[in-house]
A = this chain, B = another copy of it.
Amino acid sequence: MPAAFKTLPEPPDLPEPLPEPSVADLRLEEVMGALSSSLRLTIVRKLLLESEEFDHSCHWFGLDRPKSSLTHHFKALREAGVTRQRQYGLERRSQVRVDDLNARFPGLLDLVAAWTPQP
């Protein structure tokens, strides 16, 4: 049974999510591909383990990369169905699609949470 990662309460009046694959369209190849980089594993793991808000703008992650690179990776995660993104004014915030991923790929997120980056 996959661990139930803490999902913080949804604020009301959420902006609509950006385009994303439906649960039925999630494909293991795509998800695996999105998680085959240490940068993206870092992003997803941090969301799983350190979220103190419902969702997080990419600034929160403290990643030392140019903005255009971050756009690229957050988009890759969303298009694979790993994360959901919502636009709040200027900010675009991400959360992990915990329920959807646990439903389709039980145990996958546990692997990400247990992952540790290479020193």
Contacts and interface: CB of A to CB of B under 8 A. Distances in A.
Interface residues of A, number: 20
A6 interface: no
A38 interface: yes
Contacts of A59: none
A27 B107 contact: no
User: Would you call the interface of chain A mostly helix, strand, loop, or mixed?
Assistant: helix
Given A106-B107, A107-B106, A107-B110, A115 B28 contact: yes
Contacts of A35: 28-29, 32
A112 B28 CA distance: 8
A35 to B, nearest CB: 5
